[in-house]
């Protein structure tokens, strides 16, 4: 079975990720992954290192970024092409400029003000909290209509079967949850 990790943090996510982007790519290739998404928090700083390593190991690299909005909503945005990468970088720049150095600030209105929806070349993955809020899923589905929905399998590692079933039902109408194991 082919596997692609769609949410992976490197040491460019300070105090959260431990490995260098090159090490993550090397390990993913050794495990037989088809692709790896490098999704550091509000950053694409490790993308070049990961790209060089992915090319060396024959692994498809997906560039993305994780965001925590001011209202608590968490999501990962994945670039599917150059246009999506540009949109992602513009969003990161907007978020970094709105906060003191070393931090970022992003609100739901920033997505509307940032670009004309739908965002071209970007897919969204919802990262729900311990109590998934269906309004978060609905909002992401509205902002990213082409990049949400039933494309993704819902996986809630360590959660109850009932919670996974509720999430699976939401995934059919909105973005699914993607969680590392």
Q: How many CA atoms lie within 13 A of 51 on its CB side?
A: 7
- Give domain status of residue 113, yes or no: no
- Give domain status of residue 25, yes or no: yes
- Give domain status of residue 21, yes or no: yes
Please report where in the chains the tokens 């071209």 appear, as a residue: 120
Range of the domain at 63: 1-68
- Give domain status of residue 168, yes or no: no
Q: What angle do CA 35, 130, 6 make, to 5 degrees?
A: 5
Q: How many domains does the chain have?
A: 1
In whole angstroms, give the CA distance from residue 40 to residue 59. Answer: 18
Nearest-CA neighbor of 141 among 163, 164, 113, 111?
111
pTM of the model: 0.81
Each residue of 38-75: b (16+ CB within 10 Å) or e? bbbbbbbbbbebbeebbeebebebbbbbbbebeeebbb
Residue-by-residue pLDDT tens, the chain, 181 positions: 689 999 999 999 987 888 999 999 999 999 999 999 999 999 999 999 999 999 999 999 999 999 999 999 999 999 999 999 999 999 999 999 999 999 999 999 988 765 555 678 899 999 998 889 999 998 998 888 777 642 333 333 333 444 444 444 444 444 444 444 3
């Amino acid at each position: 079975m082919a596997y692609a990790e769609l949410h992976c943090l490197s040491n460019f996510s300070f105090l959260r990720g431990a490995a260098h982007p090159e090490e993550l790519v090397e390990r993913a290739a050794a495990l037989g992954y088809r692709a790896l998404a490098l999704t550091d928090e509000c950053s694409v700083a490790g993308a070049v290192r990961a790209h060089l390593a992915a090319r060396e190991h024959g692994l498809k690299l997906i560039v993305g970024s994780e965001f925590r909005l001011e209202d608590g909503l968490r999501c990962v945005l994945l670039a599917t092409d150059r246009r999506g990468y540009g949109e992602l970088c513009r969003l990161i720049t907007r978020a970094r400029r709105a906060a003191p150095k070393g931090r970022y600030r992003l609100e739901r209105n920033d997505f509307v003000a940032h670009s004309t929806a739908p965002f071209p070349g970007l897919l969204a993955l919802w990262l729900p909290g311990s109590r998934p809020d269906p309004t978060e899923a609905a909002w992401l589905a509205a902002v990213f209509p082409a990049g949400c929905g039933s494309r993704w399998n819902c996986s809630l590692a360590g959660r109850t079967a009932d919670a996974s079933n509720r999430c699976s039902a939401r995934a059919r109408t909105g973005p699914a949850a993607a969680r590392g194991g």
